[in-house]
Amino acid sequence: MTRLFIAFLLLGSSVYLSGCSGCSRSGSHQTHRTRRSTTDSTKNGGSQAPATVPKPTLTQIGSGPTEVAMEKENGVYKVPVIVNGVSMKFILDTGASLISISATEAEFMVKQGALTENDIIGQSKFQDAKGDISPGSVIRLKSVQIGDRVLENVTANVVSNAKAPLLLGQSALSQFGKISVDYRRNMVTFD
């Protein structure tokens, strides 16, 4: 069952898509929603209803702004983020519409039990800044922790390109009132 789920998550998008009319150069996507269940809806004569994702919520653990240290790696700044209990380092990308993870990270999360079949929202194609188009899945992340802030029910994409970088995009960043970057101290402050 796990292998079938991973195959759907990472490769199944080409069945659902033809074209990328909703893509943009900033990491946008065009989503085709689907709801997966353990029973085949065509056997029951029904159609698949779109999955619904609750609106993201932001919880503050501490008081005041939270500062997060950035690390410069290969010319880009990365910040530590805990996604569904799994620690990762993301590129802070204000131009990306969603949080983006590669097929490799998604497969690791599935094996850790941090990502399940119920987290799939739909399939989509994504266009990166270079204009390359990759198929992928749109998923719901149960929790995204940045410093002492926890976001719940955040939309993200899984790009089937195994080399795709981890991007912390607007599906998370737009939930904060203010974000400031201090390059002298290598810190990001989230309000």
pLDDT per residue as tens digits for the range 2-36: 554 555 555 443 333 333 333 333 344 444 444 33
pLDDT digits (tens, 9 = 90+) for 69-104: 999 999 999 999 999 999 999 999 988 889 999 889
For domain 2-190, give the CATH number. Answer: 2.40.70.10
Calculate the average pLDDT of the chain: 76
Please identify which residue in the block is written with the tokens 């994504």: 126
Q: Which of 25-39, 56-70, 135-149 has the lowest mean pLDDT?
A: 25-39
Statement: residue 168 has pLDDT above 90: yes
Q: Which residue from 116, 121, 118, 119 is spatially nearest to 34, judged by alpha carbons?
A: 121
Give me 129's structure tokens: 């800044």
Nearest to 159 by CA among 81, 104, 88: 104
- State percent of the chain over pLDDT 90: 48
Among the listed residues 169, 134, 137, the one whose alpha carbon sits nearest the alpha carbon of residue 31: 137
CA distance 66 to 152: 17
Q: Where are the domains of the chain?
A: 2-190
pLDDT of residue 26: 37
The pTM of the full predicted model, rounded to 2 decimals, is 0.73
Greatest alpha-carbon span in the chain: 61
